[in-house]
Amino acid sequence: MKDGFIRVASASFEVKLGNVQENAHQITEQIKIAHEKNTQILVFPELCLTGYTLQDIFFQARVLNEAREQLLMIKEYTKDLNMLIVIGLPLEVKNKIYNCAAVLFDGEILGIVPKTYIPNYHEFYEARHFASAPQENIDIKIGDNEYISFGSRIIFRDVNHPYLQIGVEICEDVWAPLPPSTNHCLNGATLILNPSASNDLTGKSDYRRQLISTHSAQCVCGYVYTNACLGESSTDIVFSGHHLICENGVTLKESQQYENGIIYADMDIEKLARERMEMTTYENQFDDKYWTYDFEFNDVDLELTRYYDPHPFVPSDENKRAIRCKEVFDIQIHGLIQRLKAAHIQKVVIGISGGLDSTLALLVATMAYKKLNYPLTDIIAVTMPCFGTTSRTKNNALMMMEECGVTSLTVDIGDAVHQHFQDIGQDPNIHDVTYENCQARERTQVLMDIANKVGGIVIGTGDLSEVALGWSTYNGDHMSMYGVNVSVPKTLVRYLVDYISSLYKGEKLEAILQDILDTPVSPELIPADDDKITQKTEDIVGPYELHDFFLYHHARFHYEPAKLFRIASIAYQNKYDKETIKKWLTLFYRRFFTQQFKRSCIPDGPKVGSVALSPRGDLRMPSDADVSAWLQECEKL
């Protein structure tokens, strides 16, 4: 289970009602297929060994005895496969019949879990045949000398990979108000397996999908739901074989309905465990009625089939992306509105460079003022050209300010910066970090002093990606009174500006915003070459899309460098080679750790997504933390 990944599968076949031997043969055939694909956990449907729709034939001793015999045969077949397999069958225990899931591993029956909630409404009448699971676990005899644990409170634990703990429930159990899987998870289970026989109805597949996905999110678990398919009786109902493999609210894989076969997914069990560690409301229970049974998976270095979105902050679907952009824009707007109301301030000052970040900040302020019915002229937008400013960015800044109807100021800081160079003995021909930062700090001084003059506050424009990398000048563009972009990643900023431009369809502002979108990202602190931008940020710190990917998985799931490198190599396999990914991943870790001192005193700003770096909320980190362990692992990649 390298890096916490395990391959799970749901399998169904055309069941032969009452022909237990043939069903057992089909089960072993599918086990063989799944094993060849490095599957470690395989789940079959409810009562698949006999068929779910046998009705009163379940009372026949021949069927019950044959089910036991074939279970033992399948058990022997699983020797040396190193697979955990769940099979549904009826079992007679103490003069009652139970709807059960047998859990097999390497030639052993680890345990048998009976169904807890027995449906007896509408098209279901299981209570005619089956008893509900007993309140406490017991041992039962299967075969000549084999005693097996029988009960609904059993956890199956992989001793080699402690994050992997498995609970089992059956069909209706998950539809109950308090599913057994909820208690399983509170008692340590990270993966729930559900052999099911849920018939199809109009709209039911949508509900089923939502149910399983949502339940996996509530329990912060993986969930494998395997449904009965073709072969069951169609006297009154039909089964479609709707399998679902979900992980914490995300559907990793879904079957094509009315087609028997196997679906596979690579589940990240370690990620689930990490999620629970952070959730203080996820409280463990230590129910002494639970029994734990150990097994040992061998390590399998899977060639992952799992998809990783190269842009985790940006929905790939156009409609979902528009919804996301509207939500983020609304949060930014109303965060600023609340700050203005609370501070009893009506004027704001924003530095406008003609780049994406300052453009977004101005658009946020403009919309906030419209909602507050404040005069737009109380937004003081300041462009401060200097050595690296090009006419393209300056003109875009001026035209945008005009179209937004805000107060526009131009303050050329060239003379002031030259004077400062003289004051500190800086050679203006040396384009080093001092040369750059003097400009950034002069701009912030201008903004702060104008804000004092007009009785307003300075709105920060820096985004989340810059905060993560420390790509700002300390006490320069790093500082403001309220940062509206502080938790918006760079990859999303671009789509936000594009979304907002669509709100001005056909207007001059739309064309201006589109040209800003086409302008290379640059701080413009190095002199331009023939009025062309010479300093491109991504040439220095690397592609923002890579850094946003690193940031999302590092901050959200705390992946180790090797795992982050592995999934980045999958996400960008058609764009960046592994050496390129390693180079920028190493830089990401170095800058993320060494630049924490800037984040420790970052201004207020609204959180818009699941990843943010405010020291007051999402990231409490010492500024002097040592990055060596992360860099050492990067070096080994």
**Residues 134, 94: contact at Cβ < 8 Å?**
no
Amino acid at residue number 545: E
pLDDT of residue 301: 86
Clarify whether 296 is annotated catalytic.
no
Nearest CA among 45, 368, 392 for reference residue 225: 45
Distances (CA, A) of 296 to 32, 101, 159, 162, 169: 20, 20, 6, 10, 22
- The half-sphere exposure of 534 on its side-chain side, counting CA atoms within 13 A, is 11
pLDDT of residue 213 exceeding 60, the answer is yes
Q: Do 157 and 207 fall within a single domain?
A: yes
Q: What is the pLDDT of residues 516-561, one digit of tens each?
A: 998 876 655 667 666 666 656 777 889 999 999 999 999 999 999 9
Distance CA(335)–CA(368), nearest Å, equals: 9
pLDDT of residue 215 exceeding 60, the answer is yes
For the segment 28-47, the average pLDDT, to the nearest whole number, is 97
For the segment 50-75, the average pLDDT, to the nearest whole number, is 95
Q: Do 488 and 519 fall within a single domain?
A: yes
**Residues 52, 235: contact at Cβ < 8 Å?**
no
pLDDT of residue 10: 98
Distance CA(197)–CA(138), nearest Å, equals: 26
Distance CA(364)–CA(485), nearest Å, equals: 9
Burial of 566: CB neighbours in 10 Å, binned 0-12, 13-18, 19+:
buried
Distances (CA, A) of 39 to 298, 304, 453: 12, 12, 68
Clarify whether 46 is annotated catalytic.
yes
Clarify whether 185 is annotated catalytic.
no
The values of phi and psi at residue 306, to 5°, are: -70, 140
Residues in Cβ contact with 617 at an 8 Å cutoff, skipping those fewer than 6 apart: 607
Task: Show the domain range for 94.
Answer: 2-295
Tokens at 484, concatenated: 């509206």
Distance CA(101)–CA(89), nearest Å, equals: 6
**Residues 359, 497: contact at Cβ < 8 Å?**
yes
Residue in the block written with tokens 């207020």? 604
**Residues 406, 362: contact at Cβ < 8 Å?**
yes
Of 75, 115, 271, 582, the catalytic one is 115
- The half-sphere exposure of 324 on its side-chain side, counting CA atoms within 13 A, is 22
Residues in Cβ contact with 506 at an 8 Å cutoff, skipping those fewer than 6 apart: none
Percentage of the residues of the chain whose pLDDT score is greater than 90: 85
Q: Do 408 and 551 fall within a single domain?
A: yes
List the beta bridge partners of residue 193.
Answer: 168, 224
Distances (CA, A) of 587 to 188, 215, 582: 37, 39, 9
SS3 annotation, 559-619: CCHHHHHHHHHHHCCCCCCHHHHHHHHHHHHHHHHHCHHHHCCCCCCCCCCCCCCCCCCCC
Beta-strand relationship, 379-383 and 407-410? parallel
pLDDT of residue 43 exceeding 90, the answer is yes
Q: What is the pLDDT of residues 391-441, one digit of tens each?
A: 888 889 999 999 999 999 999 999 999 999 999 999 999 999 999 999 999
pLDDT band for 387, please (50, 70, 90 cuts).
Answer: confident
Q: Do 171 and 222 fall within a single domain?
A: yes
Q: Do 330 and 237 fall within a single domain?
A: no
Q: Do 399 and 541 fall within a single domain?
A: yes
Domain count for the chain? 2
pLDDT of residue 496: 96
DSSP string over 31-78: HHHHHHTT-SEEEPPTTTTT-TT-GGGGG-HHHHHHHHHHHHHHHHHT
- How much is the pTM? 0.90
List the beta bridge partners of residue 168.
Answer: 193
For the segment 330-337, the average pLDDT, to the nearest whole number, is 98
Question: Which of 264, 295, 326 marks a domain boundary?
Answer: 295
Q: Does residue 127 form part of some domain?
A: yes
Tokens at 33, concatenated: 């297929």
Distance CA(22)–CA(27), nearest Å, equals: 9
Distance CA(367)–CA(331), nearest Å, equals: 12
Compute how many other C-beta atoms are within 10 angstroms of the C-beta atom of residue 121.
9
Q: Does residue 35 form part of some domain?
A: yes
pLDDT of residue 146: 77
Question: Which of 295, 330, 357 marks a domain boundary?
Answer: 295
Q: Does residue 313 form part of some domain?
A: no
pLDDT of residue 524: 57
Q: Do 480 and 619 fall within a single domain?
A: yes
Residue 236: which CATH number? 3.60.110.10
The values of phi and psi at residue 266, to 5°, are: -100, 115
pLDDT of residue 364 exceeding 90, the answer is yes
Q: Do 262 and 401 fall within a single domain?
A: no
Q: Do 471 and 423 fall within a single domain?
A: yes
List the beta bridge partners of residue 224.
Answer: 193, 245
The values of phi and psi at residue 150, to 5°, are: -130, 120
Q: Do 290 and 323 fall within a single domain?
A: no
Q: Does residue 440 form part of some domain?
A: yes
pLDDT band for 388, please (50, 70, 90 cuts).
Answer: confident
Q: What is the pLDDT of residues 600-628, one digit of tens each?
A: 999 999 999 999 999 998 999 999 999 99
Largest CA distance in the chain: 100
pLDDT band for 389, please (50, 70, 90 cuts).
Answer: confident
Residue 350, classed as helix, strand or coil, is strand
pLDDT of residue 80 exceeding 90, the answer is yes
Amino acid at residue number 312: P
Question: Helix H segments across 344-410?
Answer: 356-372, 391-404
Q: Does residue 302 form part of some domain?
A: no
How high does pLDDT run on average in the chain? 94
Q: Does residue 200 form part of some domain?
A: yes
Of 100, 171, 325, 634, the catalytic one is 171
Q: Do 287 and 328 fall within a single domain?
A: no
Of 46, 270, 436, 524, the catalytic one is 46
Q: Does residue 312 form part of some domain?
A: no
Residues in Cβ contact with 318 at an 8 Å cutoff, skipping those fewer than 6 apart: none
Q: What is the pLDDT of residues 103-155, one digit of tens each?
A: 999 999 999 999 999 999 888 889 999 999 999 999 998 877 678 999 999 99
pLDDT of residue 494: 93
Which run of H or E residues covers position 630?
helix 628-636
Question: Helix H segments across 308-385?
Answer: 318-343, 356-372
Q: What is the pLDDT of residues 183-200, one digit of tens each?
A: 999 999 999 999 999 999
Q: Does residue 311 form part of some domain?
A: no
pLDDT band for 491, please (50, 70, 90 cuts).
Answer: very high
Residue 626: which CATH number? 3.40.50.620
Q: Do 188 and 330 fall within a single domain?
A: no
DSSP state of 172: G
pLDDT of residue 233: 87
pLDDT of residue 309: 95
